[in-house]
Amino acid sequence: DDQTTTTYDIELIPGDGIGPEVVDAALPLIRAVADDHGLAFDITRRDWGTEYYLEQGEMMPEDGVSRLADSDAIFLGAVGHPTVPDHVTLHGLLLPIRKGLDQYICKRPNVLFEGIETPLQGYDAGDIDFVVYRENTEGEYADIGGREHRGFNHETAVQSALFTREGTERIVRAAFEAATERDGHLTSVTKSNAQAHSMVFWDDIVEEVSEDYPSVTVERLLVDAASMDLIRRPHEFDIIVASNLFGDILTDIGAQITGSMGLAPSGNIHPGDENPSMFEPVHGSAPDIVGDGVANPLATVLSWSMLLEDVGEKTAATALWDAVTNQLADGAAPRTPDLGGDATTEAVVDDLRSRL
């Protein structure tokens, strides 16, 4: 046999709640796809997250981010716990990784798959298909601000959003690049009318970068109008570029109008080889269904597909993506409860394997 095997070093953080369930259920499928395409994954498992925190007082070891840095890619299940505040779980794990590894693109495809019902009237499979490029390291999530005069009448809190030229230019450029590879239509979402310090700067950068992409049509929307338009005319979007906060809101609306949070994959991407990118389902840790074995694994599987595409394994990525598309289109296939079925996580994954 003269097949060579390419091996990828993967850091796996199953995390909290249903994270480990979906991650572990998906692994045999992922290994099977790898086998089929002459690939192998060398997986290092990191049991970081809230359990780790409750024992160690921190969500991951102090040098956690640097331990991840040499891998080819990172896969994260979910983070969050009912009894530990979100700002602890997130600022202790998810956000430091995004920032520390400079994963400045949060890429989130929003696709209405065949077989999936949208809450919107009059939309069919294929009608909704756009990708959000969300800035992922600065903007409204910058850890700048404070709170003074606690408990007094003049108590005041300030939260500052930070936009740098490099930080803004590179996400805008990545979005323009993506638009040239799709339908050539880019929507930039801001709130320039009310946030003139930051958002007019963003608009100026979009204007500048657009000169390098004359074939891309550029549309500007205010975030309030964009939120409406995702409900009113989602079929008209192709690539959306937005700040950290606005991208967060728009991608959640995107997940909702395409039928389920259980289907939404995402990548936190640092382009190039310097740092690994991290892939994760958009859904959270879903404490209410932990242990029931019915968490939807599809967002995890689609996120693995994005990972494979990102490391250059396009064929394997497509095989995984197509298995999901195929399963969803098949009315007889097993589905988890969030999609109206009563199948287990495992049954869904087994069925996907049979479709490879």
Ligand X SMILES: CC(C)[C@H](C(=O)O)[C@@H](O)C(=O)O
Which DSSP letter does residue 234 get? G
Give the Cα separation of 85 and 309 in Å (integer): 34
322 is catalytic: no
Instruction: Say whether residue 200 binds ligand X (CB under 6 A).
Output: no
Q: Please, what is the minimum distance in Å from the beta carbon of residue 102 to ligand X?
A: 16
Closer residue to ligand X (CB): 56 or 193: 193
Q: Does 84 bind its own copies (CB under 8 A)?
A: no
Of the candidates 40, 54, 194, 329, which one interacts with ligand X according to CB under 6 A?
Answer: 194
User: Where is 24: in which H helix or E strand?
Assistant: helix 19-36
* Of 354, 277, 297, residue with least CA distance to 8: 277
Nearer to its own copies, 32 or 88 (CB): 88
Give the residue carrying structure tokens 């689609």. Answer: 302
Identified binder of ligand X from the candidate list 193, 291, 314, 353, rule CB under 6 A: 193
Question: Annotated catalytic, 133?
Answer: no
State the nearest-atom distance from the C-beta of 284 to its own copies, in Å: 9
Nearer CB in complex with its own copies: 37/107: 107
- Compute the least distance from the CB of residue 53 to ligand X, in Å: 15
Question: Do 198 and 213 form a contact (C-beta atoms < 8 A)?
Answer: no
224 is an interface residue for ligand X by CB under 6 A: yes
Q: Is 140 in the site for its own copies (CB under 8 A)?
A: yes
Contact (CB, 8 A) for 249 and 223: yes
Is 330 among the catalytic positions? no
State how far the Cα of 308 lies from the Cα of 268, in Å rounded to an integer. Answer: 13
Find the catalytic residue in 203, 252, 292, 330.
Answer: 252
Question: What is the spatial distance between Cα 213 and Cα 225, in angstroms, rounded to a whole number?
Answer: 25
Contact of residue 160 among its own copies, ligand X, none (CB under 5-8 Å per partner type):
its own copies
For ligand X, the binding residues in 235-264 under the rule CB under 6 A are 248
Closest distance to ligand X from the beta carbon of 261 (Å):
11
Name which of ligand X, its own copies, none residue 327 binds, using a CB cut-off of 5 to 8 Å depending on partner kind.
Answer: none
194 interacts with its own copies by CB under 8 A:
yes
Determine phi and psi for 53, rounding to 5 degrees: -60, -45
If we measure between CA atoms, which residue out of 298, 351, 343 comes closest to residue 116? 298
Estimate to the nearest angstrom the gap between the alpha carbon of 189 and the chain centroid: 18
* 8 A C-beta contact, residue 140 and residue 105: no
Return the one option of its own copies, ligand X, none that residue 164 interacts with (CB less than 5 to 8 A, by type).
its own copies
Binding positions for its own copies, 3-22, rule CB under 8 A: none
Query: Cα separation of 138 and 120, whole Å?
Result: 33
Catalytic residue among 24, 72, 238, 248: 248
- CB 139 within 8 Å of CB 162: yes
Q: Of residues 144-173, which lie at the interface with its own copies (CB under 8 A)?
A: 144-147, 149, 152-166
Burial class (CB in 10 A: 0-12, 13-18, 19+), 354: exposed
Which of these is catalytic: 8, 141, 310, 351?
141
Contact present, 336 and 294 (Cβ < 8 Å): yes
198 binds its own copies (CB under 8 A): yes
Q: Which of residues 238-277 bind its own copies (CB under 8 A)?
A: 244-245, 248-249, 251-253, 255-257, 261
Considering the rule CB under 6 A, would residue 90 count as an interface residue with ligand X?
Answer: yes
Quick check: 75 and 11 in contact, CB under 8 A? yes
Which residue's Cβ has the minimum distance to ligand X? 248
Both tokens of 77, joined, read: 């299940």
CA distance 282 to 296: 12
Half-sphere exposure of 22 (CA within 13 A, CB side): 35
Which residues are marked as active site? 141, 191, 224, 248, 252
Q: Name the residues that contact ligand X, by CB under 6 A.
A: 90, 193-194, 224, 248
Q: Name the residues that contact its own copies, by CB under 8 A.
A: 86-87, 90-91, 95, 117-122, 140-141, 143-147, 149, 152-166, 191-202, 222-225, 227-228, 231-232, 244-245, 248-249, 251-253, 255-257, 261
